[in-house]
Amino acid sequence: MGTISAPYIVFRKTGRRRAWVRANTTLCYTKGALVLITGSNWKFCGRKWIVRPTGLCVVAIGIFLLSGGCAPKTERSYLVILTEGIPPTLDPLAALDSRVDNPVINLYSALVQYIPGTTELSLDLAESYEISEDGRRYVFTLRPDAVFHDGTPVRAADVKYCIDRMLTLKTGVWAYLTPVSGAEILDDRRVAIDLYEPFHGLLGALTRFYVANSELVRTNEFEGDLGQRWLQNHDAGSGPYSLVSFQPEQQFTVERFYDYHGGWGDRHIEKAVF
């Protein structure tokens, strides 16, 4: 074990926003792995990584270690996250369930996201957006550099497919987005989301609406299920981490996606095992 001065780390709190936590704490470090124990009172969401003490064991995530009173040095390592159970699915549409949202937020990206620790929004896949005067149409322009984990660019067609999929299946995050009536592709990088009536909470709700690779999901549809079976244990995202392996009821592993549009710092974990 050693003491660290950890970087900022972000996790999903209750509701629709994430929060920053900053602390100096003790690192559970064994066999080259950083170990995080999660319980019912808090959750993991590694966009930037988390630091928090618990009643059972003081826990931290980071890669700067102090051992035996020596000066700090950087060590490349991986993170082991001990959870109360493996999520029933990795389908981003099911992210209403926090067990799903906490890993999915690392595999997928949304159009917008909350600035950690605040209720203010920032852009994610979207480069900009416009709202119509009547409040019933939101037009998003996508970033030109955002790509899925297979290298396919994120396009307006992917957003429309995911909106259509949500409106057809009517499950999961659809509960946050019931005012949405549909989507229209304006060009390769511009997509409009239409509403039945003005909904001032749309942008906040869209932080849970993750965009999947439409071509990949379509290819793996089974008997009209819109990819639900395949997405249980596969990844079609553009988030900071990509799925390496998934063993039902045992564990799954994610690793750093180097082409992530959000960029990378030197202090991010390369690999995590749930």
Report which of residues 251 and 196 the model is more confident about: 196
CB-based contacts of 224, cutoff 8 Å, min separation 6? none
Q: Which two tokens stand for residue 33?
A: 């792995």
CA distance 112 to 210: 9
pLDDT at res. 77: 59
pLDDT, the chain, mean: 77
How far from 73 is each of 2, 27, 36, 132, 268, CA to CA, in Å? 12, 14, 20, 52, 15
How much is the pLDDT for 133? 97
Q: How many CB atoms lie within 10 A of CB 70?
A: 9
pLDDT digits (tens, 9 = 90+) for 79-107: 777 776 778 899 999 988 877 888 899 99
What burial letters (b/e) apply to 80-116, b meaning 16+ CB within 10 Å?
bbebeebbebbbbbbbeeebbbbbbbbbbbbbbbbeb
- Residue 24 pLDDT level (bands cut at 50, 70, 90): very low
How many helices (H) and strands (E) in the chain?
Answer: 5, 22
Angle value at C-alpha 9, between 4 and 12, nearest 5 degrees: 140
Which pLDDT score, from 0 to 100, does residue 186 have?
Answer: 99
**Res 78: pLDDT:** 72
pLDDT at residue 211 tops 70: yes
Q: What's the rounded Cα separation, in Å, for the pair 88 and 249?
A: 8
Statement: residue 154 has pLDDT above 80: yes
Task: State both tokens at 234.
Answer: 């596969």
For the question of whether the overall pTM of this predicted structure is more than 0.85, the answer is no
Could you write out the DSSP letters of every residue in 146-214?
-B-TTSPBP-HHHHHHHHHHHHHH--GGGGG-TTEEEEEEEETTEEEEEESS--TTHHHHGGG-EE--H
Say how far apart CA 180 and CA 172 lie, in whole Å: 14
Tell which wins on pLDDT, 259 or 252: 259
One-letter amino acid at 158 equals: D
pLDDT, one tens digit per residue, over 28-78 is 443 444 455 444 333 333 443 333 333 333 333 333 332 333 333 444 457
**Distance in angstroms (rounded) separating the CA atoms of residues 69 and 187:** 58
Mention every residue, 6+ apart, whose C-beta is less than 8 A from residue 110. Answer: 124, 125, 206, 207, 208, 209, 210, 211
Confidence of residue 11 (pLDDT cuts 50, 70, 90): very low
Give the chain's domains with CATH numbers. 2-87+239-273 (no CATH), 92-96+106-231 (3.90.76.10)
Q: Return the H-helix or E-strand segment holding 230.
A: helix 228-231
The partner residues of 210 in beta bridges, in order of sequence, read 110
For residue 11, the cross-strand partners are 19
Report pLDDT for 86.
78
